[in-house]
Amino acid sequence: MAGQSCPICGKPTDRGTKPFCSKRCADIDLGRWLDGRYRVPTDEAPGPGEAPDDNDD
Ligand SMILES: [Zn+2]
């Protein structure tokens, strides 16, 4: 499967570390996963894709 991109940084996936571009991004993703699993969400900012954006129309 070609054309995949790293879910962390968007760079082309490396077949040795897919679906990430590098071991580093794989570690980042793992860290996020563990973070979300073991930490209780408090009043932190919402996840990615929920950035507040005032649309003054
Ligand atoms: Zn990456």
pLDDT at 1 over 60: no
Inside any domain, residue 46: no
CA of 28 to the centre of ligand 1 (A): 9
Inside any domain, residue 12: yes
Report the number of distinct structural domains present in the chain: 1
Inside any domain, residue 48: no
* Stretch (H or E) spanning 28: helix 23-38
Look at residue 25 in the predicted model and tell me its pLDDT: 96
Inside any domain, residue 54: no
Inside any domain, residue 29: yes
CA 8, 6, 50, 40 dihedral sign is negative
CA of 3 to the centre of ligand 1 (A): 14
CATH code at 10? 3.30.50.10
CA of 46 to the centre of ligand 1 (A): 22
**pLDDT tens-digit profile of 3-54?**
789 999 999 999 999 999 999 999 999 998 888 877 666 676 666 666 667 7
Look at residue 12 in the predicted model and tell me its pLDDT: 95
Inside any domain, residue 52: no
Inside any domain, residue 49: no
Look at residue 49 in the predicted model and tell me its pLDDT: 67
pTM of the full structure: 0.55
Look at residue 37 in the predicted model and tell me its pLDDT: 77
